[in-house]
A and B are shown apart, each in its own frame.
Chain A
Amino acid sequence: EVQLVESGGGLIQPGGSLRLSCAASGFTVMYNYMSWVRQAPGKGLEWVSALYSGGTTYYADSVRGRFTISSDNSKNALYLQMNNLRDEDTAVYYCAKQTSTSTTFHYWGQGALVTVSS
C-alpha cells in the first residue's frame, strides 16, 4: 500500500529556511515521479515542484531559485528545502506521487503546515 507522510512544517520568520520531509512506503521514490503541491489557507491548489526518476527537477516560477527538491534513496524519502521564505509561502504542503511523467497525482500525503510570519 502506498503511503506518504510529511513532516517538518512549522512557524518560521520571513527570510528563514525550512526543510519538509516526505516518508514514502509501498514503493521506491528513486524509481518514481514525485511532486510537492501546496494550498494556502482557504485557497486552491498550487503545484510547487517535481522530481522525476533519473533526477530531473522542475519548479514553479513562484519558488524557482528559493526551493530545492531532492530525495534520499537510503531513507526512501522526498524533501523540499525552502529558503528565503515569504509570507505568501504560508500553506499546507502536500507530497504527491505520480505514476509517470504525466502530472496526475494518484496519491497524496496528509500535508504539513508551513506558516511564514513575524
Chain B
Amino acid sequence: DIQMTQSPSSLSASVGDRVTISCRASQSIGRALNWYHQKSGEAPKLLMYDASNLQSGVPSRFSGSGSGTDFTLTISSLQPEDFATYYCQQSYTAPTFGQGTKVEIK
C-alpha cells in the first residue's frame, strides 16, 4: 500500500491567516492526489482533485499543488467555516488517506 503522511497533524490559526498543509506519498503517484475536509460529525467533502483542480462550488481561496511524492494544500485567507480536519488521499492505486490535519482556531 502507498502510505500518505500529512504535516502538521494539527495547527492553530486565525481568521485571515494563510494556511499550508503538506502531504507526502511513500512512492510517486503522479498527480493522483485529492484533498477533503471534514467538520465534526459530518461526512468528508471533496475540495481538490488531481492535485490542483478545484471541485465545483469550492471557494477559490483553496488551492493545491505538487506532483510525484510531495503535495500542498493552501488556504489563502482562512475563514470561520474552514476550521475542520483536512485529509489527503491518493487515487493512484487502492486508495489510502493521510492521517489528517486538524485546523483549529487560535
Q: Which residues of A come within 8 Å of B, CB atoms?
A: 35, 37, 44-47, 58, 60-61, 94, 102-106, 108-111
Contacts and interface: CB of A to CB of B under 8 A. Distances in A.
A46 B99 CA distance: 10
Q: Chain B interface residue count: which class?
A: 20 to 34
A93 to B, nearest CB: 11
Contacts of B42: 110
Interface of B: 1, 32, 34, 36, 42-46, 49-50, 55, 87, 89, 91, 94-100
Contacts of A105: 34, 36, 44, 46, 89
A27 B96 CA distance: 26
Given A47-B95, A104-B91, A111-B43, 6 more contacts: A44-B97, A45-B87, A47-B96, A103-B91, A103-B95, A104-B34
A111 B43 CA distance: 7
